[in-house]
Structure 1
Amino acid sequence: MMISIFNVDINDVAAELTTRPVGAQARFRLLSFLQEHESIEIDFHNKSLTPSFADECIGQLAAHIGLSDFKSRVRMVNLNDASRPLIKHVILTRCSAAKH
């Protein structure tokens, strides 16, 4: 069986990667893609993310679908070096909070 991976350009779901409202809007778009496709690949084009955007978009997405599903269904590419630890932190924080 072939897995369909839907490529998402972050620029198509968020004009800027700064605020919680924009992060929430992007998260809703990503969730709709996950309903239509087995997995998605998000291209961040090495742009900087604020903690607010990262938490609202990626952290909340991971908490919503669960860490296991997130790891198997969401791939993030072209994350800049400064954003990598931030993304890891918001995912782990949100997923551990969702368990309690």
Structure 2
Amino acid sequence: MTSTFRINIEDVASEMTTRPVGALARTRILSFLRDYESIDIDFGNRSITPSFADECIGQLAAKLGLSGFKNRVRLSNLSDSSKPLVKHVILTRCNELRQAII
């Protein structure tokens, strides 16, 4: 593994609106995480829908675990309107994972 790899979200998602596109983006991001120690996903200040955010980012956080997500994934240039949404889906998915383990 090498250092941080920068991804433009438009390179892994044609649009940021649906769950299927979010799932495909998550799969592509996970493939980068196999090759790189960490990644920086640049959202270009574009807004994202709750469905895309949950499927792409929330599920990614659940798969990596909150600590792993924080250590390996950086989300840059999120629009101001998307920041609370992203925080919500990350914490919700990681909390669901903790509840399932207990």
**TM-score w.r.t. length of structure 1:** 0.96
CA distance in 2, matches of 1:64, 1:77: 20
In the alignment, is residue 70 of structure 1 matched against residue 69 of structure 2?
A: yes
Deviations 1:41-76 (CA, angstroms, capped at 9, x unpaired): 000000010000000000000000100010010001
Letter in 2 for 1:98: L
State how many pairs are aligned: 98
Q: Where does structure 1 lack aligned partners over 5 or more consecutive residues?
A: none
Number of the residue aligned with 2:96: 97
Alignment of 1:16-95 (within 5 A): 16-95=15-94
CA distance in 1, matches of 2:73, 2:64: 10
CA shift for structure 1 position 99: 1.1
Percent identity over the alignment is: 66
Q: CA RMSD in A?
A: 0.7
Letter in 2 for 1:36: D
Q: Where does structure 2 lack aligned partners over 5 or more consecutive residues?
A: none
